[in-house]
Amino acid sequence: MKKSALIVDDEIGLREVLTELLHIWDFEVIEAESGEQALECVANTEETFDLIFIDVNLPGLSGRELFERLQPDFPQASYILMSGFDREQNAAELPESEDYIYLKKPFRVGELKDLIDRLLTQ
C-alpha cells in the first residue's frame, strides 16, 4: 500500500521539490498553498495521511491553526511543521501540543529522508 502525504506551503518551489522527492520515495501527494485550500482538499479525499507537512507562516489560516484543525481528523499522521526561522523565533506561532516535528528550512535531502524513515518506523 502506498504511503500518502499532504504538503501545505505557500512557496511553490518548495512544494514542487517536496512532491518530487516524496514521489521518488513512493508517496501519493496532495499539495495545498494555504490552510484554507488544505482543508478543502482533505474534505474531498478519502486519504489517511502518513505525513503532513505544514509551513508555520502561512497567509490566512496559520500553520498552528491548520495543525489544530487537522490533528483530530488525522491523529495517526506524523506532522512536520516547517519554517525558515529558528524554533525559538517561532515559539509564539507553534502549537502547544508537542505532537509534531519542527523542521527548519532550508533542509538537506538526506536530513529529510532520515526524518521520514524515522517517523514511519515508529
DSSP labels for 49-86? Answer: -SEEEEESS-SSS-HHHHHHHHTTT-TTSEEEEEESS-
- The domain of 101 spans 3-120
Q: What pTM was computed for the model? A: 0.92
User: What is d(CA 84, CA 104) in angstroms, rounded to the nearest whole number?
Assistant: 6
> Model confidence over 78-89: pLDDT tens digits?
999 999 877 777
Number of domains in the chain: 1
> Model confidence over 29-69: pLDDT tens digits?
999 999 999 999 999 888 899 999 999 999 899 999 999 99
CATH of the domain at 38: 3.40.50.2300
- 58-77: b (≥16 Cβ within 10 Å) or e: beebbbbbbbeebbeebeeb
Residue 29 is which amino acid?
V
pLDDT number for residue 92 = 67
CA angle, corner 104, sides to 85 and 27, nearest 5? Answer: 140
19 band by pLDDT with thresholds 50, 70 and 90: very high
DSSP labels for 30-47? Answer: EEESSHHHHHHHHHT---
